[in-house]
Amino acid sequence: MFAAAVRDFPASMPRGAEQPSSNAVPGPDAVGRVLLLYSGGLDTSVMLRWIQEQYEAEIVALTVNLGQPGEDFEVVEGKARQLGAVDAILVDAREEFAGEYVLPAIKANAIYGNAYPLFTALGRPLIAKLAVEHARRTGCDTVAHGCTGKGNDQVRIEATVAALDPDLKVIAPVRQWSMSRDEEIAYAREHGIPVKGGTETPPYSIDDNLWGRSSEGSEIEDLTEPPRDAVFQLVTRPEEAPDEPELVRVEFERGCPVALDGERLELVKLLERAAQLGRRHGVGIVDHIEDRIVGLKIRDVYEVPAAAIILTAHRDLEALVSTIHQNNFKRTLEDKWAYLCYAGLWHDPLRSDLDAYMESANEVVTGEVTLKLYKGSVTPVARRSRYALYDRSLASFGESGAQFSQDSSPGFIELFTLQTRMARRVRHQQRHQPVSGPEGPSPKTLENEGEER
């Protein structure tokens, strides 16, 4: 029965075979077997039963381990089977997530809105890719997810599914049923679905992985009040962090972090270790007003200890080894990279184009940066690299000999400021003199500038 249900997908679609997208919700007759992205939380547990009732479809539950702290994945897998899933699949994707998604974000210093180090946005395209792969393997014709109609994740997941397999249908029960949290809890009780945390736990919307954690909803939505202590489940409040600072050395090779305090670590282990250090010192708390791609402004509270440490060190090392022109130009591309990722356009060709530049720019980002962690702050205090564009003898206020001719500075200043001075003089004259004609000021008004050409 299973073998007969598996569809034969081509390795790639022929040119011109893309199917037009549709916002129509597939009806029960169009849905046979559903691959459900299952977290074990209230929403996806309720929808596991709800899909069976509404669509009379078989459910294959897919749970993806991206390094969520404290998650018992065996319990999640068992819960899916208990609720009626014909199969429950657990994928440990931590290494792929770190190497293929987090690492490019490190090289791109991926921060959205000048505050949010991307992590949820990095995980969704990987989760959706795995959903497509396992839907093919298990004969599913539909992918179901637990995203709301007000969030970014629906776009990120559905854009990836549509890009990788436009034949797959998508259902999003939370967009369809319009149940409140209390109604979901009542449905869960009626159908014998365990409610994680009971009903007294503040109904924050939580997402986390090895690169960070987000919390939104409930009293966080009151912009006039600071977040309650209950929000922070990952990072120590800075007021309660150790009274003594701690120094940590982060070593990079071609933009990739490879060691902490001289100990070489695989990337997943390194990110986990950095997160532990940051959590202890209250590092990486972000209280952020965010522009969602669906048009809403929302408030999110992020806990990003690993990102706060690694990105701070990476950017500091880049500043040391890259020219002023590289550093200034790269920031504009970083913003675009972050937006594409945030907006769910992971498979847009422009992101791949930008990745090529990020790889090139990181060729010389090799060296180490020492950071001081103290009560919520991350401060670079030392750095070194064989590619450093820093010469102490040149930078020193002492004598630099013939290497730097200070006598050349006046001429440089005169040429460097020439257009600024000309613009100020011309515009000042035009504001205080009648306009002489469309040809503009006479040449005599500029004669004091000398032979500018």
Q: List, run by run, the mean pLDDT of 10-residue segments along the chain (453 residues).
A: 32 41 75 95 92 94 94 93 96 98 98 95 97 98 93 95 96 89 88 68 78 90 92 93 98 98 98 98 95 92 96 98 96 97 97 98 98 98 96 73 77 91 91 64 49 46
Tokens found for residue 351: 């992101």
Query: Residue 10: its pLDDT value, please?
Result: 35
Query: Residue 195: its pLDDT value, please?
Result: 75
Listed by start position, the domains of the chain span: 2-8+27-205, 206-394
- Which architecture does CATH list for 2-8+27-205? 3-Layer(aba) Sandwich (3.40)
- Tell the CATH topology of 206-394: Argininosuccinate synthetase, chain A, domain 2 (3.90.1260)
Query: Residue 23: its pLDDT value, please?
Result: 59
Catalytic residues, by residue number, are: 43, 124, 153, 205
What is the distance between the alpha carbons of residues 184 and 187, in angstroms, rounded to a whole number?
5
Query: Residue 111: its pLDDT value, please?
Result: 97
Query: Residue 399: its pLDDT value, please?
Result: 63
